[in-house]
């Protein structure tokens, strides 16, 4: 007899992107930054003394929050540090959503959201995007009608790469009566000419939480450090009631702080990735693969000739050649692969294999 709760017994866990153990693999399947963290992060790591490890870390990562507050021009009380962005997502659901209440996101979206909803025994609703990956016009009203308690929107969107404007976000926040969670895991890769910034919205909407992570833009996926931005009343219960004690460790706090302090270095990697994204998009188009416009560090690529060769076959052929991309066997995505923008060498290898594979 299983001792699991009934909802845990019947649910499916999160399907991680494949993590190869061989250094020979070109890994373009989990949207990591191909460039190393900043030299300031490396220096901070080299200077860490093991003598600090016999003491507990700062409970609220005070130095990190002070740095983040200056970066975003907000108060330290508007910030909560978390063990990766995923911990923040879990905290939001366990703090603000009762079992049997409804959690919603878009279709398609980040596949961890339904897992977290199932863990809390919540109802889960998907709001379909249009063919051009846009949101329903009156989304806030629609969410209210469906009695949604929390809506999760990854923006820029995954796996499509589409960016929803801050005006769209504010419109949803104004009408939606529940909690609006904007997952900005990929926001660092948005073209700065768009002047996209949702952070000021937390001062105007007390139902809005913004997620940030250092995994993508700051090349620290292995560190597991994220943070949330919201009004003080939303941050308070997360920070003082449901958050794990000492949820971010001493080493992670030091390195995360160094990463934000050396933002200029990371900004240069974002520029390189945006440039590579444009080059890769054009090169893919020349061999018959179209890409959705992207403001992220990945491309959602459509295989336009499924009779000759389909997306799943391309994924499998690339994998045999030690190039990993992501294939999603689900509605709206079965004719597509998602490709992380890699280094110039990695992108050239990908294109070479695709040219050899796709011969129309």
21, two tokens: 């153990």
Enumerate the β-bridge partners of residue 107: 128
pLDDT at 115: 97
Give me Rg for the CA atoms of the chain.
21
Question: Rounded to a whole number, what is the largest CA-CA distance in the chain?
Answer: 63
351, two tokens: 């294109």
pLDDT at 99: 97
C-alpha separations of 51 from 74, 247, 250, 309 in Å: 33, 20, 11, 58
pLDDT at 306: 58
Hey, where are the domains in the chain?
6-36+264-357, 39-262
What is the tens place of the pLDDT at every residue in 78-87? Answer: 999 999 999 9
CA dihedral (163, 166, 167, 170) in degrees, to 10, reads 120
**Which residue in 103, 105, 176, 104 sits closest to 144, CA to CA?**
176
Could you give the 3-state DSSP secondary structure of residue 100?
Answer: coil
**Which residue in 86, 81, 114 sits closest to 11, CA to CA?**
114
Could you give the 3-state DSSP secondary structure of residue 213?
Answer: strand
What is the tens place of the pLDDT at every residue in 327-341? Answer: 999 989 999 999 999
Sites in the chain below the pLDDT cut of 70:
306-307, 360
| Helix (H) or strand (E) segment spanning residue 259 | helix 250-261
C-alpha span between 355 and 359 (Å, rounded):
7
Q: Note the CATH architecture for domain 6-36+264-357.
A: Alpha-Beta Complex (3.90)
CATH 3.60.20.10, applies to 39-262: no
């Amino acid at each position: 007899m299983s001792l699991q709760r009934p909802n845990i017994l019947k649910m499916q866990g999160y399907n991680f992107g494949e993590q190869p153990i061989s250094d020979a693999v070109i890994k373009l399947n989990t949207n990591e930054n191909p460039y190393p963290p900043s030299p300031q992060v490396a220096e901070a790591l080299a200077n860490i003394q093991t003598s600090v490890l016999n003491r507990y870390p700062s409970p609220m990562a005070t130095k990190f929050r002070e740095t983040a507050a200056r970066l975003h021009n907000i108060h330290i009380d508007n910030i909560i540090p978390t063990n990766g962005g995923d911990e923040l997502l879990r905290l939001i659901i366990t703090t603000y959503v009762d079992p049997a209440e409804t959690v919603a996101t878009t279709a398609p979206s980040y596949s961890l959201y339904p897992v977290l909803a199932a863990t809390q025994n919540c109802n889960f609703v998907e709001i379909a995007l249009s063919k051009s990956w846009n949101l329903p016009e009156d989304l806030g009203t629609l969410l209210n009608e469906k009695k949604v308690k929390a809506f999760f929107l990854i923006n820029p969107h995954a796996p499509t790469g589409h960016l929803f404007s801050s005006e769209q976000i504010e419109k949803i926040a104004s009408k939606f009566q529940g909690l609006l969670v904007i997952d900005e895991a990929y926001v660092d890769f948005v073209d700065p000419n768009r002047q996209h910034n949702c952070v000021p919205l937390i001062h105007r909407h007390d139902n809005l939480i913004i997620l940030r992570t250092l995994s993508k833009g700051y090349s620290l996926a292995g560190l597991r450090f994220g943070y949330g931005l919201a009004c003080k009343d939303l941050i308070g219960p997360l920070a003082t009631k449901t958050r794990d004690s000492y949820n971010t460790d001493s080493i992670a706090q030091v390195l995360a702080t160094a990463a934000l302090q050396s933002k200029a270095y990371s900004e240069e990697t974002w520029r390189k990735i945006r440039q590579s994204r444009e080059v890769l998009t054009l090169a893919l188009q020349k061999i018959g693969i179209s890409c959705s416009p992207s403001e992220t560090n990945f491309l959602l690529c459509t295989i336009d000739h499924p009779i000759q060769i389909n997306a799943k076959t391309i994924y499998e052929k690339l994998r045999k050649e030690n190039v990993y991309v992501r294939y999603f066997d689900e509605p709206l995505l079965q004719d597509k692969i998602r490709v992380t923008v890699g280094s110039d060498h990695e992108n050239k290898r990908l294109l070479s294999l695709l040219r050899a594979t796709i011969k129309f």
